[in-house]
Amino acid sequence: MLGWLLPFDSTLANGVLIYASLVALSWLYRRLVARPGLAHFRGQHVFITGGSQGLGLSLAASFARLGANVTIVSRKLDVLNQAKAEIVKRCSASPGNVADRVLPLACDVTQFEQVEKAVAQAAAHFKQPVHTLVACAGSAMPGRFVDQSVDDIKRMMDLNHHGCVHAAKAVVPGMLASSAKGRTLVFVNSGCGLTCFYGYAGYCASKWAQRGFAEALRNELVADGVRVCVYYPPNMDTPGFVEENKTKPKVTAEIEGSSGILTPDQAAAILMEGLASGNDAVTADPLSELARIQSGSNASPLNVFLDLAILPISRIVWTGAYLFMNHVVRSAHRQQQKRD
């Protein structure tokens, strides 16, 4: 009776057909039905740490363009004010007075009391709690572990992990008290939160900690209707990246050399599309997507069929990548020994 569903004589061919249909159906369902879109951000309050430059600034402009009330925080008020002017400029085609919808607040996210105060100030200013947090403040100080101080490692952990914990701790109570649609915690991670290599021991540790924290929160908040999204961007042409390159070991740069670099606006557009499509583990390039799949970071339960089909390829590609990294490190080591 179900012969038309199983047109092949071979069980394997029928199995492949059924699996391919499941992949296609789950993909179509995600594209057409389970797509939250971005319209709900209009009139909502988005709180962005690290919103004064780089990716955070591009994201602030994206949310402002959608009609959101946007709070941007970082440590320097003068840079934040310039960022606000830039956002207003970029939103010149948007209706209403954009300047009224952008609030710059100075705050060091490594200090919980300052974050708590900024969140309270922002909520009072816009007369609404934070509906979406974008925890974007972060930085990499690459270096060989033996050459770095314990303080260097702790600084990255303080900013990249504890800074996100502080921001989440400050906004989640208000989010839970609200019934607004699409409340979301967005954590900006990195390709280094999915894979690890030379020069990034401290940075990777901080981004893996942040990812673990975010994924546990995702499960904790699922029943409250609060979404948790982690973004794993590749290298981006930002002031932070320029700074990072000043201390980057040659070996690290050589390993990274093969990966592309995005503008902050391109990286922001990819995250916005991820948010629109209901993707909770957003990557921006094929290699990072393969890393996500093998890491078990779940983009959406609806991805399961495609993820499973790609998993073996991912393992093979990343085994090749790890062998390449070892090769680069060993070659550099040999050259150094020859020079000594």
Ligand X SMILES: NC(=O)c1ccc[n+]([C@@H]2O[C@H](COP(=O)([O-])OP(=O)(O)OC[C@H]3O[C@@H](n4cnc5c(N)ncnc54)[C@H](OP(=O)(O)O)[C@@H]3O)[C@@H](O)[C@H]2O)c1
Choosing from 105, 137, 170, 290, the residue that interacts with ligand X (CB under 6 A) is 137
Cα(289)–Cα(4) distance, integer angstroms: 35
Residue nearer to ligand X on the CB measure, 83 or 251: 83
Tell me the C-alpha distance between 305 and 287, whole Å.
19
**The binder of ligand X chosen from 67, 143, 202, 233 (CB under 6 A):** 233
CA–CA separation, 126 vs 213, rounded Å?
A: 28
Evaluate whether 70 touches 64 at the Cβ level (below 8 Å): yes
* 110 part of the interface to ligand X, by CB under 6 A: yes
Taking the least distance from each CB to ligand X, the nearer of 49 and 283 is 49
Q: Which is nearer to ligand X, 57 or 68 (CB)?
A: 57
Please tell me the distance from the alpha carbon of residue 165 to that of residue 213, in angstroms, as a whole number: 8
Residue 190 vs 279, nearer CB to ligand X:
190
Closer residue to ligand X (CB): 149 or 263: 263
The mark string for 184-203 relative to ligand X (x by CB under 6 A, - otherwise) is ----x-x-------------
Alpha carbon of 303 to those of 23, 28, 207, 280, 308: distances in Å? 8, 11, 23, 11, 8
d(CA 101, CA 96): 9
Show the site string, 147-186: x = touches ligand X by CB under 6 A, - = not: ------------x---------------------------
Give the other-Cβ count within 10 Å of 287's Cβ: 20
Residue 146: which residues within 8 A CB-CB, separation 6 or more? none
Distances (CA, A) of 34 to 38, 42, 149, 210: 13, 20, 47, 27
Q: Kindly tell me which residue out of 26, 148, 238, 314 binds ligand X, with binding defined by CB under 6 A.
A: 238
Q: Minimum distance between the CB of residue 289 and ligand X, rounded to whole angstroms?
A: 15
Q: Which is nearer to ligand X, 23 or 274 (CB)?
A: 274
Task: Give me the 20-59 binding string for ligand X, x by CB under 6 A, dash otherwise.
Answer: -----------------------------xx-xxxxx---
Number of residues that bind ligand X (CB under 6 A): 30
Where in 62-190 does DSSP place strands (E)?
A: 69-74, 102-106, 132-135, 184-188
How far apart, in whole angstroms, are the C-alpha atoms of residue 329 and residue 190? 22
Distance CA 108, CA 76 (A): 9
- Find the shortest distance in angstroms from Cβ 63 to ligand X: 15
Q: Which of residues 277-336 bind ligand X (CB under 6 A)?
A: none
Which amino acid appears at position 234 of this protein? P
**Nearest residue (CB) to ligand X, 26 versus 114:** 114
Our CB check for ligand X shows the closer of 188 and 229 to be: 188
Query: CA 64, CA 202: separation in Å to the nearest integer?
Result: 34
141 binds ligand X (CB under 6 A): no
Q: How far is the CB of 220 from ligand X (least distance, A)?
A: 22
Question: Which region among 167-175, 237-245, 281-289, 317-325 touches ligand X (by CB under 6 A)?
Answer: 237-245
Which spans of this chain sit near ligand X (rule: CB under 6 A)? Answer: 49-50, 52-56, 74-76, 79, 108-110, 136-140, 159, 188, 190, 233, 235-236, 238-241, 264
